[in-house]
Amino acid sequence: MSLEKYVSKRDFSKTAEPKSGKSKDKNSLLFVIQKHDASRLHYDFRLEMEGVMKSWAVPKGPSTDPKTKRLAMMVEDHPLDYRTFEGIIPQGEYGGGTVIVWDQGTYQPIEPIKGKKAMEKHLLQQLAAGSLKIKLHGEK
Protein backbone atom coordinates (compact mmCIF):
# COMPACT_ATOMS: atom_id res chain seq x y z
CA MET A 1 0.00 0.00 0.00
CA SER A 2 1.03 3.53 -0.59
CA LEU A 3 1.93 6.01 2.11
CA GLU A 4 1.42 8.98 -0.23
CA LYS A 5 -1.57 10.32 1.72
CA TYR A 6 0.31 9.96 5.02
CA VAL A 7 3.41 11.73 3.67
CA SER A 8 1.40 14.52 2.01
CA LYS A 9 -0.15 15.52 5.36
CA ARG A 10 3.17 15.92 7.20
CA ASP A 11 6.14 18.26 7.23
CA PHE A 12 8.95 15.97 8.37
CA SER A 13 11.20 18.94 9.06
CA LYS A 14 8.77 19.84 11.89
CA THR A 15 7.58 16.47 13.19
CA ALA A 16 9.46 13.45 14.52
CA GLU A 17 6.87 11.05 13.12
CA PRO A 18 8.41 8.15 11.17
CA LYS A 19 8.45 8.10 7.36
CA SER A 20 8.67 4.35 6.74
CA GLY A 21 9.56 1.01 8.25
CA LYS A 22 9.62 -2.73 7.69
CA SER A 23 8.29 -5.58 9.77
CA LYS A 24 10.98 -7.60 11.50
CA ASP A 25 8.47 -10.23 12.66
CA LYS A 26 8.26 -12.95 10.01
CA ASN A 27 5.59 -15.02 11.78
CA SER A 28 3.17 -12.63 13.46
CA LEU A 29 1.06 -9.62 12.57
CA LEU A 30 1.54 -6.59 14.82
CA PHE A 31 -0.96 -4.14 16.30
CA VAL A 32 -0.80 -0.98 18.37
CA ILE A 33 -3.30 1.22 20.16
CA GLN A 34 -2.06 4.78 20.66
CA LYS A 35 -3.63 7.40 22.90
CA HIS A 36 -3.62 10.62 20.87
CA ASP A 37 -4.39 13.88 22.63
CA ALA A 38 -4.88 16.05 19.54
CA SER A 39 -7.66 18.60 18.92
CA ARG A 40 -9.82 15.94 20.60
CA LEU A 41 -8.62 13.05 22.72
CA HIS A 42 -9.03 9.77 20.85
CA TYR A 43 -7.27 6.46 20.33
CA ASP A 44 -5.64 5.23 17.13
CA PHE A 45 -5.99 1.51 16.40
CA ARG A 46 -3.43 0.17 13.93
CA LEU A 47 -3.06 -3.28 12.35
CA GLU A 48 -0.13 -4.48 10.26
CA MET A 49 -1.33 -5.42 6.75
CA GLU A 50 0.28 -5.15 3.32
CA GLY A 51 3.50 -3.67 4.72
CA VAL A 52 1.77 -0.73 6.43
CA MET A 53 -0.28 -0.07 9.54
CA LYS A 54 -3.97 0.07 8.55
CA SER A 55 -5.35 2.73 10.87
CA TRP A 56 -8.60 3.75 12.53
CA ALA A 57 -9.42 6.68 14.83
CA VAL A 58 -11.55 5.54 17.79
CA PRO A 59 -13.11 8.60 19.49
CA LYS A 60 -14.34 6.85 22.67
CA GLY A 61 -11.33 4.61 23.09
CA PRO A 62 -11.04 0.84 23.28
CA SER A 63 -13.27 -1.51 25.23
CA THR A 64 -12.22 -4.77 26.88
CA ASP A 65 -15.71 -6.19 26.23
CA PRO A 66 -15.98 -7.57 22.67
CA LYS A 67 -19.77 -7.04 22.79
CA THR A 68 -19.31 -3.29 23.23
CA LYS A 69 -19.24 -1.57 19.86
CA ARG A 70 -17.07 1.46 19.22
CA LEU A 71 -17.10 3.85 16.29
CA ALA A 72 -13.85 3.44 14.36
CA MET A 73 -13.15 5.71 11.39
CA MET A 74 -10.58 4.42 8.94
CA VAL A 75 -7.83 6.94 8.26
CA GLU A 76 -4.76 6.90 6.03
CA ASP A 77 -2.26 4.05 6.24
CA HIS A 78 0.74 4.70 8.49
CA PRO A 79 4.29 3.33 8.17
CA LEU A 80 5.16 0.23 10.21
CA ASP A 81 7.58 2.23 12.38
CA TYR A 82 4.63 4.31 13.62
CA ARG A 83 3.64 1.47 15.95
CA THR A 84 6.42 2.46 18.37
CA PHE A 85 6.04 6.22 17.92
CA GLU A 86 5.55 8.25 21.08
CA GLY A 87 6.04 11.97 21.24
CA ILE A 88 4.61 15.38 20.60
CA ILE A 89 3.40 16.35 17.15
CA PRO A 90 3.79 20.15 17.00
CA GLN A 91 0.61 22.24 17.17
CA GLY A 92 -0.32 23.46 13.71
CA GLU A 93 0.85 20.19 12.15
CA TYR A 94 -1.59 17.47 11.11
CA GLY A 95 -2.60 15.57 14.27
CA GLY A 96 -0.82 18.05 16.54
CA GLY A 97 -0.70 16.80 20.14
CA THR A 98 0.76 14.08 22.34
CA VAL A 99 0.91 10.42 21.24
CA ILE A 100 1.65 7.52 23.60
CA VAL A 101 1.56 3.76 23.05
CA TRP A 102 -1.42 2.54 25.09
CA ASP A 103 -1.09 -1.16 24.14
CA GLN A 104 0.78 -3.22 21.57
CA GLY A 105 1.42 -6.80 20.59
CA THR A 106 0.41 -9.32 17.97
CA TYR A 107 -2.96 -10.24 16.52
CA GLN A 108 -4.50 -13.03 14.49
CA PRO A 109 -7.79 -13.95 12.85
CA ILE A 110 -10.32 -15.71 15.08
CA GLU A 111 -10.25 -18.62 12.62
CA PRO A 112 -7.17 -20.86 12.97
CA ILE A 113 -4.94 -20.03 9.98
CA LYS A 114 -1.25 -20.85 9.76
CA GLY A 115 1.34 -18.53 8.30
CA LYS A 116 1.59 -14.76 8.29
CA LYS A 117 0.82 -14.36 4.57
CA ALA A 118 -2.25 -16.64 4.78
CA MET A 119 -3.54 -14.77 7.85
CA GLU A 120 -2.97 -11.43 6.13
CA LYS A 121 -4.80 -12.56 2.97
CA HIS A 122 -7.78 -13.76 5.02
CA LEU A 123 -7.90 -10.53 7.03
CA LEU A 124 -7.70 -8.36 3.90
CA GLN A 125 -10.73 -10.22 2.54
CA GLN A 126 -12.58 -9.55 5.80
CA LEU A 127 -11.56 -5.89 5.69
CA ALA A 128 -12.86 -5.57 2.12
CA ALA A 129 -16.14 -7.15 3.28
CA GLY A 130 -16.34 -4.64 6.15
CA SER A 131 -16.01 -6.92 9.18
CA LEU A 132 -12.69 -7.93 10.78
CA LYS A 133 -12.77 -10.70 13.37
CA ILE A 134 -9.48 -10.77 15.27
CA LYS A 135 -7.92 -11.71 18.57
CA LEU A 136 -5.38 -9.33 20.12
CA HIS A 137 -2.42 -10.54 22.17
CA GLY A 138 -1.41 -7.30 23.87
CA GLU A 139 0.37 -6.24 27.01
CA LYS A 140 -2.71 -4.91 28.83
Q: 33-85 pLDDT, tens per residue?
A: 999 999 899 999 999 999 999 999 999 988 888 889 899 999 999 999 999 99
Q: What is the pTM of this model?
A: 0.89
Q: Identify the H or E element spanning 6.
A: helix 4-8
Inside any domain, residue 24: yes
Give the separation between CA 111 and CA 114, rounded to whole angstroms. 10
Classify residue 131 as exposed, middle or buried by CB count within 10 Å of its CB (0-12, 13-18, 19+): exposed
Inside any domain, residue 120: no
Give the separation between CA 46 and CA 86, rounded to whole angstroms. 14
Our count of domains for the chain comes to 1
Looking at residue 44, its amino acid is: D
Give the pLDDT band (50/70/90) at residue 123: very high
pLDDT tens for each residue of 13-36: 888 787 877 777 788 999 999 999
- Distances, alpha carbon 41 to alpha carbons 57, 61, 72, in Å: 10, 9, 14
Inside any domain, residue 117: no
Inside any domain, residue 49: yes
Inside any domain, residue 52: yes
Give the separation between CA 64 and CA 140, rounded to whole angstroms. 10
- Domain of residue 54 covers 4-105
pLDDT of residue 9: 80
Inside any domain, residue 134: no
Inside any domain, residue 51: yes
pLDDT of residue 16: 76
